[in-house]
Amino acid sequence: MQIWVDADACPKIIKDILFRAAIRTKTALILVSNHALSTPPSTFITKMQVLAGYDVADNKIIENVQANDLVITSDIPLAAAVIDKGAIALNPRGELYTRANIKERLSIRNFSTDLRGSGVRTGGPPTLSKKEIQRFANELDKVLR
């Protein structure tokens, strides 16, 4: 198993948890972004910088992810694509995306996109809470076991 991170939108605190987990479990962690990242020195942590552009990082993850890899993302279409490839998708708030819930999440996402497109202000996601950070760490540990 490798851990792929959609790193452009991943909160720093979640990346820190991932760094510690990768080193502790000796699991390859690949952070994909279109900007430079700072990571601790480790043979288990790799940075993959891609060109800027719409979905370039997402497409790089989809192109490289293998069945049973873990992908950390809040991007619902990316989560759906990796699930289709047999990988596991976990968002930074600790929600595990599955075949059972991804279609509903896509519908809600598309509905929100349509609302924003028609001028309705839907607001952004709330700040990551301590409870969500703990939930993420717990789900990550479950997957890595």
Say which CATH topology domain 2-144 has: Rossmann fold (3.40.50)
Model confidence at 47, in pLDDT bands (50, 70, 90)? very high
For the chain, give every domain's residue range.
Answer: 2-144
Please give the model's pTM, rounded to 2 decimal places. 0.86
Q: How far apart are the first and last CA of the chain?
A: 11
pLDDT the model gives residue 125: 72
